[in-house]
Amino acid sequence: MSSTSGKAIREIKVAHSPDSDDAFMFYGMATNKVRVPDVKFTHTLCDIETLNRKALDGFYDITAISFHAYPYVQDKYALMPSGGSMGEGYGPMIISSRKISPDEVVKHKIAVPGTMTSAYLVLKLFAPNVATEVVPFDEIIPKVLEGKYEAGLIIHEGQLTFNKSGLHRVVDMGKWWRDKTGLPLPLGGNVIRRDLGPELMAACCGALRDSIRYALENRDEALQYAMQFARDLELQMIDKFVGMYVNERTLDYGKDGREAIVKLLEMGHAAGIIPHKPDVEFAIASAAIPAN
């Protein structure tokens, strides 16, 4: 297939989670509100732990990953300068069916959404010796309610809905991290394959930045788009969750945001959780062309 310019159309495989924040930020790209000349973006939706594992093989050209996964794929991918989700004093939570102290809860096995998630990394920094078991993220709350686990580590929209089930928050990892470091907690970002070359990488990074900007400037329509992927949540709840994780920092990490990524990964490496020495490198973005 060729474009009106006569050049062959380049397909760029994009993957992200179906969570409200990801769907919101990719809205512009997914609906061709933002485009790159001679490039066709194709989108695949997977849960974040699957995306982390796929990135080990360099399967997608652009993919959302947990920041924890970055040192494992840094030879193949660079971080895109936009698209990060960070907790500003909030983040993944340890929840339990009863009121329990943080010191006591880590003596029990905790259900976690995946060992490559950033939530797992910060949990292990918080409690290095805690026992964990991987459970699909959307099954953690039900399993804790069933009594299969004393506690669970919840991510995504569960951070807003857990109390409706009568569960108790034991530790907010984002608050713990902020108290410890004074920094936001890096959770998920987007990476791009290095072998696309500097020009195409820059154009794609610009497209993602402009897609996020388009969604922020056209919030209602982007939220309606994100709703189709939401897990039985009301629009008000989706709007709140998106506001937590898609904002001006998602457009640009800022100095402290970039510092936070480096610090989290270096602490993980120093603690022996991450075997690879992190080498955080950001790609450079150029402008994309918005659709008329």
Residues 144, 135 contacting (CB under 8 angstroms)? no
Residue 112 pairs with which residues in a beta bridge? 134
pLDDT in tens, 97-118: 999 999 999 999 999 999 999 9
State the catalytic residue, choosing from 156, 168, 269, 276: 156
Tokens 């060992």 sit on residue: 115
Phi, psi of 168 (to 5 degrees): -115, 140
- The conformational region for residue 87 under phi > 0 = left, psi -120 to 50 = alpha, else beta, is beta
pTM score above 0.85: yes
User: How confident is the model over 141-171, as pLDDT tens digits?
Assistant: 999 999 999 999 998 776 777 777 889 999 9
CB 80 within 8 A of CB 189: yes
The answer to whether 276 is a known catalytic residue is no
What tokens does 274 get?
Answer: 């991450």
Domain boundary assignment for the chain:
10-86+186-290, 89-181
The C-alpha atoms of residue 161 and residue 203 are separated, in whole angstroms, by 38
Query: One fold for both 10-86+186-290 and 89-181?
Result: yes
Tell me which architecture the domain covering 89-181 has in CATH.
3-Layer(aba) Sandwich (3.40)
Which regions in the chain score pLDDT beneath 50?
A: 1-2, 290-292
| Topology, domain 10-86+186-290 | D-Maltodextrin-Binding Protein; domain 2 (3.40.190)
